Structure 1
């Protein structure tokens, strides 16, 4: 027995001398999906995750960046298979659909008493809710505004009303330069832009064929087809292309969001931003951005929640969310925070945040609703339908979809 003990001790000492160590605690591995697959946004998310892992060596985040065009389909496939990732950054209008698919965890109890959650601006809080329950953490928020070339306006005041906008856009239209540009490609960017005009007219989607809805359609039709202040080519542009046209000096003003900042600054533009002009219903702008959700079947829901909480609470992340992801401050205690002003024009964008309107309230069928909207607008701008006819056709499609909220 004594010999056996001596041999065991010798073996342990030898193993120690060779550098053997006790087994390290197993890491918690979190799967993460987003659609920031290139450029500054990709780098920003990589930095966010690296900072968190550096402070939490017991957590490994396995990130998958999916091209935006494929993202929604990938989420639906994951929801149907029951293999939803631990953490996903989803466009807020897609939240109701994922809740209906039983794919995301209810975070309402976790929100209770969470100071950062309580501080979120009400439209931002609403973007993370469905059926009165919280299902996500809104980390990146944005909204649309009117961006203008300061040199072209030559010191004149930017437009404040629809009448101002139409007159200014017409006056600034010259050979090779449009007075105003906005996204007209048949996809979500066009829907978001039109929603701003619809709300400014005092309308909404459930009554899109009423006087306000028809007025909004007629107004954008006048800009494109009567005044020709908005180029016909815009019907093939998304927001990114609009920004490139503006940066090239081919647009005097544009409707766009804070993700254009890098493009304009790199182009050396002398530009500024103001709130979208008001119509009969006042000023209005859509709330954009993503809410981060936790998969309902996640075995690491607690670790995923701690990750999202840390990303929301850590002020060191402002650089990545701001300059990297084009995000705006989205809490009452940060909307005027100088640390968030990663560009001099952030304050003007952020001023619209308290009154911005989320789109997730349109329910689980929002993708089909959005398609009906952009189809309606394109029909009018291409001259295929009069505003009244296009609006009536759109309402017939939209009304049944909104019943499934």
Structure 2
């Protein structure tokens, strides 16, 4: 905790990592909380400022506190504020007892020495799907447990596809998807919209195609990576996707799809409520991999973690709070509120039983992958930045996909 060079490195890494876009987190602000002098008060920091006192979320926190025999002092922060405040609090020896944080930041905080491991805090992660738990792992150790996950898939407009004589069951890989887009264009409609903006959102949306080609983040310029970027480039060249994707955020991309003119839109679980309000019949298809099957899409969502404390006696109660927040019943209630897919198969089954529309999302989450998985940790933000720059260069026409990714790989090293 007191290794200065390591801490300075963590500050530099975190300044980049916190720019990562939490895909379903709302923005807001909160004031810092500190632990009360009374050891019976435990602090909880979360990235849900949209939930005020009296909400289902704050009631759950209070219920978990009561069950653990303590009072809860909770503060909700904007996602990027939360990461910065957490690092500062750790430097001052004033960390919250329980921290709920966006999953790409977990490894950064862990490498900075801010978080305890599940070996230390005894959190049970045995029921969590391994691909989701991986986002909170670094150096062979686990630093928390996911409270829920979201990811990307393809929404589709059933009317547009019907008018273009496209059977959605035929869309199983990149070749059949591109053939569907060609039919849609010939029918006078628009193909697919997504976000390729020069930020983490652009990388987030490109990753399913990159991973779906079999590419690895440690080799941006592999033949597989080039094929993924070439796919997007060809879609723009042939008019299957609009040039607006270069500046689209996930929100503006959704607004394009909501016009009813597009056959497909790449977006996430957080748009489900908007999809129901769109006024047209829609479906959801997991993003196909190049040669078929479901591509790994990146996971969004948060982890419940327990920061390092000078008084290690607090861990037992903090562990009870974390276990309560991630119990089977509480996960179901919370993830329904957040439009998240639960991180355990048991709760996922309950979600699908209650709402059949979640089935393709559960399938997508089961194939999903953490952005910092493969032990990338704090290396991910730098790789991601070069990735979105390459996407921008290729789609704008300033470089070929091959040259853009070659430059990206060189810079990422």
TM-score category by the smaller chain? 0.7 to 0.9
Task: State whether residues 379 and 385 of structure 1, in contact with CA within 8 Å, keep that contact through their aligned partners in structure 2.
Answer: yes
Residue number in structure 1 paired with 2:321: 307
State TM-score, norm by structure 1. 0.82
Residue number in structure 2 paired with 1:181: 193
2:351 equivalent to 1:333: no
Residue number in structure 1 paired with 2:18: none
Q: Among 123, 147, 161, which residue is 2:131 paired with? A: 123
2:396 equivalent to 1:396: no
Aligned CA distance change for structure 1 residues 168 and 103 (closer, same or farther; 3 Å)? same
Shift of 1:283: 3.1
Q: CA–CA distance in 2 between the matches of 1:231 and 1:71?
A: 35
2:147 equivalent to 1:133: no
Residue number in structure 1 paired with 2:21: none
2:376 equivalent to 1:368: no
Q: CA–CA distance in 2 between the matches of 1:291 and 1:57?
A: 20
Residues 167-221 of structure 1 show CA distances to partners (whole Å, capped at 9, x for unaligned) of: 2223324899631111222222221221211111111111111211111111111
- Aligned 1:313-328 pairs, distance under 5 A: 313-322=327-336, 324-328=337-341
Residue number in structure 1 paired with 2:175: 163
Point out the more displaced range, 95-104 or 350-359: 350-359
Question: Aligned-pair RMSD on alpha carbons?
Answer: 2.7
Aligned CA distance change for structure 1 residues 89 and 156 (closer, same or farther; 3 Å)? same
Residue number in structure 2 paired with 1:11: none
Q: CA–CA distance in 2 between the matches of 1:245 and 1:232?
A: 12
Task: State whether residues 331 and 347 of structure 2, in contact with CA within 8 Å, keep that contact through their aligned partners in structure 1.
Answer: no
- Aligned 1:103-118 pairs, distance under 5 A: 103-111=114-122, 114=124, 117-118=125-126
2:286 equivalent to 1:279: no
Higher radius of gyration, 1 or 2:
1
SS at match of 2:346: coil
Shift of 1:343: 3.3
Shift of 1:80: 3.9
Q: CA–CA distance in 2 between the matches of 1:343 and 1:238?
A: 28
Q: CA–CA distance in 2 between the matches of 1:105 and 1:213?
A: 36
SS at match of 1:291: strand
Residue number in structure 1 paired with 2:73: 62
Q: CA–CA distance in 2 between the matches of 1:341 and 1:269?
A: 24
SS at match of 1:168: helix
Task: State whether residues 68 and 321 of structure 2, in contact with CA within 8 Å, keep that contact through their aligned partners in structure 1.
Answer: no
Shift of 1:98: 0.7
Residue number in structure 2 paired with 1:31: 43
Q: CA–CA distance in 2 between the matches of 1:191 and 1:76?
A: 25
SS at match of 2:355: coil
Q: CA–CA distance in 1 between the matches of 2:137 and 2:98?
A: 17
Q: CA–CA distance in 2 between the matches of 1:262 and 1:281?
A: 29
Residues 121-180 of structure 1 show CA distances to partners (whole Å, capped at 9, x for unaligned) of: 110222222111111111111221111112222272252111122222233248996311
Shift of 1:57: 7.8
Q: Among 377, 392, 395, which residue is 1:381 paired with? A: 395
Task: State whether residues 155 and 266 of structure 2, in contact with CA within 8 Å, keep that contact through their aligned partners in structure 1.
Answer: yes
Task: State whether residues 244 and 263 of structure 1, in contact with CA within 8 Å, keep that contact through their aligned partners in structure 2.
Answer: no
Residue number in structure 2 paired with 1:206: 218
Q: CA–CA distance in 1 between the matches of 2:209 and 2:111?
A: 30
Aligned CA distance change for structure 1 residues 109 and 156 (closer, same or farther; 3 Å)? same
Gaps of 5+ in 1: 1-25, 400-405
Q: CA–CA distance in 2 between the matches of 1:61 and 1:396?
A: 48
Residue number in structure 1 paired with 2:270: 259
Q: CA–CA distance in 1 between the matches of 2:96 and 2:188?
A: 48
Q: CA–CA distance in 1 between the matches of 2:88 and 2:241?
A: 39
Gaps of 5+ in 2: 1-37
Q: Between Structure 1 and Structure 2, how many residues are aligned?
A: 366
2:259 equivalent to 1:248: yes
State TM-score, norm by structure 2. 0.80
Aligned CA distance change for structure 1 residues 242 and 39 (closer, same or farther; 3 Å)? farther
Task: State whether residues 82 and 103 of structure 1, in contact with CA within 8 Å, keep that contact through their aligned partners in structure 2.
Answer: no
2:173 equivalent to 1:143: no
Q: CA–CA distance in 2 between the matches of 1:251 and 1:44?
A: 36
Task: State whether residues 94 and 366 of structure 1, in contact with CA within 8 Å, keep that contact through their aligned partners in structure 2.
Answer: no
Residue number in structure 2 paired with 1:294: 306
Shift of 1:72: 3.7
2:363 equivalent to 1:355: no
Shift of 1:246: 2.1
